Homo-oligomer: A and B are copies of this chain.
Amino acid sequence: MIRISKDYDVRKQEFLDAAQKLFYEQGYDQTSVNTIIDYVGVSKGTFYHYFKSKEDLLDALAERVARQRLEQLHSIVEDRKLSALEKFNGYFAGSRGLIEKSEDIAKAVLRVMYEDENILLRHKARVRSMELVVPELGKIIAQGVQEGTFNVPYPERTAEMILMLGGELKDIYARLFLELDEKPENISLAKQLIDQYEDAITRMLAAPEGSIRFHEQLNLRDFLV
């Protein structure tokens, strides 16, 4: 076999890129280490030179995904021209992700990601994202309290709860989306769900009724990822 040496970081990113693609397409359990090394074009030994276990790779991937998400958010938080309410609504509206490209690809990804078997992948990504995002969302809420729009004693705790709810909601939402072909009524169910979520958030923040609105800017497809 030909031997190709690469810079450490370059190679590591290759592994992460491969993992992201393969895990999303086939799931974590269903993707063997052999599949990964075949895809990257290296040997077993090389893999274990970079990661101490398959799960170690998963952790690294979760970390990378979480950081990417954080950067996305950071530009909004630091914008001094925006009110807390605008930031808040903007954050949730900005969650639109892969679905714009192709609905088929999106469905395939979701189908895999939201199988029970892949709960570990989702869980790790979510936990790490939470750790990073909670403080940022907390800042937005704190700003809102100062501006008099919101009223909560501990902004970060509230941010935590809002995000926990959001995370669980995505699960349900994904399921509704995937069943859309068989159950057209899911569209109204999903809308109802978002309404409820908006309402719950509004109440938790003690925000003016109707001020929290990311709903209209979204269609059924945009909420995920």
Contacts and interface: CB of A to CB of B under 8 A. Distances in A.
Interface of A: 116-117, 119-120, 123-124, 127, 153-154, 157-158, 161, 164-165, 167-169, 192-193, 196-197, 199-200, 203-204, 206
B154 A196 contact: yes
Given A123-B116, A124-B116, A204-B204, A164 B161 contact: no
Contacts of A158: 196, 200
B157 A192 contact: yes
Contacts of A168: 164-165, 167-168
6 contacts: A116-B124, A119-B120, A153-B199, A157-B196, A161-B165, A164-B165
Q: For the complex, would chain A's binding face be called helix, strand, loop or mixed by DSSP majority?
A: helix
Contact of A203 (B124, B164, B203): B203
- Across the A-B interface, give the 5 residue pairs with the lowest CB-CB distance, nearest first: A164-B168, A203-B203, A157-B196, A119-B123, A200-B204
Contacts of A200: 158, 161, 204
Contact of A165 (B116, B165, B199): B165
Given A119-B123, A164-B165, 15 more contacts: A116-B120, A116-B123, A116-B124, A119-B120, A154-B192, A157-B192, A157-B196, A161-B165, A161-B196, A161-B197, A161-B200, A164-B169, A167-B168, A168-B168, A200-B204
Nearest to A118: B120
Nearest to A196: B157
Contacts of A153: 199
A47 B170 CA distance: 36
A218 B154 CA distance: 22
A196 B154 CA distance: 8
